Structure 1
Amino acid sequence: MTFNDDAQLGGTTARRRGRGTMVAGGVGGVGVLGLVIVLINVFTGGQLGGLLGLDGSGGDPQAGETVVQDCETGADANARDDCRLVFGQKSIDAYWEQRVDGYRPAQLIIVDQQTSTQCGTASNATGPFYCPPEETIYVDPTFFALLGSQFDATVGPLAQLYVLAHEYGHHLQQLTGVFDRYPSNGSGPASNGVRTELQADCYAGAWVAGAADQKDANGVPYLKPPTAEQIRDALAAAATVGDDHIQQETTGRIDPERWTHGSSEQRQRWFTTGMNDGPAACDAAFRVSGGDL
């Protein structure tokens, strides 16, 4: 999605944390194996840092934490991934504050290199995730370039915001008690894990449909309506992280009994359901039978 160049951020709770400073443009630090794990992990809120040799021992989580700077206008958001996430946070919070009683914003941490969390290490190797006990979303913006350079994946502006909005979907589940009502019950095509991920995809789609209605303090919409090409980009991202696609790419066979996120078709369909029918439709992810997911 494209931000209006003259939209004003007007303050943000987003913070930057990690070791070292942001490196503009280049990426590094994880190979193809790591990226396969990322594709399995992304959009989930789970942690696979142990598989990458990341034990979460990054020291004091607050060390080096600073306010995100130089993200003032929509033009900044169009030019830089980190500013796009910060502006995305502003729009997503505004959307859900209007729709969820007692809503409280999630904390957004822009990660530089890596930082420790209560849910493990956050870095571009673990991918974006939501940490429920902290009510915090961690994103290293170099993750998007890493996928593009090593997996030839298209991760355009709307796909990036889709990732962020999906993680905010997990925040809604934390706030509304979904995690408590539907705890993990193993894997499989009708598991609570799959339903949780599909509902978060649906919430992301609902925000995308209403994103252009959220305005800054001057009444300027943060975002322009998404184009058909941008929506296709987001749907392609959803397909990339479908369980069936990942299994086919990594093992050559599809085993639905090991699914924890949903198929490519399901992830695209629930995102579209949110776009077309709004957030109320997303509750159906826990009501329909497994065959109708």
Structure 2
Amino acid sequence: MGPRMGPGGRGVSLGGIGGLGAVAVVLIGLFLGVDLTPLLDGDTTAGPPREITAEDDAMARFVSVTLADTEEVWAEIFREDLALTYDPVTLVLFAGATQSACGGASLQTGPFYCPQDRRIYLDTDFFRIMERQLGAEGDFAAAYVVAHEVGHHVQDELGILAEARRGRQQGADSAGVRVELQADCFSGVWARRAESRFGSLEPGDVEEAMNAAARIGDDVLQRRSGGPVRPETFTHGTSEQRQRWFWTGYEAGDIRACDTFRAAAL
């Protein structure tokens, strides 16, 4: 994924906190849509912050750039294709654990979007786990994860999440998987639009996203855990499904191609 800066050419930096002060760092993060508060110990208005690592700094910069790209792309899609206004999401970057309006967030919960507070929660260690333990390497594999969670926010903006919740309450077993696969498709739409708008994709980027989708399919994760593959317990879809719906969105570049709820087969 080619280098880009955040809005106005600014990025998020966690380095040199002593000079800026904890509050300044948090405000910079919030301006870019990345809430850095959980990376700091205790009250951010007083007391020494925890030591910020070089990896934390790189993570904050990368996430802010990716988030800025998603904001521009989805604002354009909402405006030109849907005649709507896109309300950007905030991403909470944390280390270890934090609280969301949907409950506790930790490395074990994985990245998730909370519709109650309309925020994405992402542990700084998650991308390292993807690369070192799951074999999902590369910047664009990480960008795919961020774009997938932003896809859930898009669903929330369009009322799709609320409708899916009603479907689950009415006994639609596949509603949850259809939500997740549509978010994969939306991430593919973003990738195609980002490629066209920014020229930010490099050779191999789409392959990195496809590999990440394959590595985090329900069937593959269940095999890795040593247990049987149980389709009735799937929450996100198989590797093949996740790859196929990402590619569907990427190939079309149009959210109308992402109607997983009317698809006869996933």
- Which TM-score applies when normalising by structure 2? 0.77
Cα-to-partner distance string for 1:121-147 (whole Å, 9 max, x where unaligned): 223332211111111011122221133
Assess if the C-alpha contact under 8 Å between 2:148 and 2:184 holds in 1: yes
Amino acid at match of 1:80: A
Instruction: Report SS of the residue matched to 1:168.
Output: helix
| CA distance in structure 2 between the partners assigned to 1:120 and 1:285 by the alignment | 28
What displacement does 1:281 show? 3.4
Number of the residue aligned with 1:16: 36
Instruction: Report SS of the residue matched to 1:127.
Output: coil
Amino acid at match of 1:3: P
Q: Which runs of 5+ in 1 are unaligned?
A: 22-58, 66-75, 215-220
What displacement does 1:116 show? 1.2
Amino acid at match of 1:250: S
Are 1:64 and 2:44 matched, yes or no?
yes
Matches within 5 A, 1:175-190: 175-183=157-165, 185=168
Number of the residue aligned with 1:225: 201
| CA distance in structure 2 between the partners assigned to 1:265 and 1:126 by the alignment | 23
Calculate the aligned-residue CA RMSD, in Å: 3.0
- CA 1:260/1:157 → structure 2, altered by over 3 Å: closer, same or farther? same
- CA 1:113/1:251 → structure 2, altered by over 3 Å: closer, same or farther? closer
| CA distance in structure 1 between the partners assigned to 2:113 and 2:255 by the alignment | 22
Are 1:266 and 2:238 matched, yes or no?
no
Structure 1 stretches of 4+ moved >4 Å: 4-7
| CA distance in structure 2 between the partners assigned to 1:162 and 1:152 by the alignment | 15
Number of the residue aligned with 2:100: 117
Assess if the C-alpha contact under 8 Å between 1:118 and 1:134 holds in 2: yes
Higher RCO (Cα < 8 Å, 6 or more apart): 1
Are 1:143 and 2:126 matched, yes or no?
yes
- CA 1:153/1:93 → structure 2, altered by over 3 Å: closer, same or farther? same
| CA distance in structure 1 between the partners assigned to 2:187 and 2:117 by the alignment | 21
Identical aligned residues as a percent: 34
What displacement does 1:275 show? 0.3
Amino acid at match of 2:215: T
| CA distance in structure 1 between the partners assigned to 2:34 and 2:239 by the alignment | 31
What displacement does 1:4 show? 4.3
Q: Which runs of 5+ in 2 are unaligned?
A: 12-30, 46-53, 79-83
Are 1:193 and 2:173 matched, yes or no?
no
Assess if the C-alpha contact under 8 Å between 1:212 and 1:225 holds in 2: yes
Number of the residue aligned with 2:71: 93
Number of the residue aligned with 2:2: 2
- CA 1:86/1:283 → structure 2, altered by over 3 Å: closer, same or farther? same
Assess if the C-alpha contact under 8 Å between 2:98 and 2:104 holds in 1: yes
| CA distance in structure 1 between the partners assigned to 2:251 and 2:215 by the alignment | 22
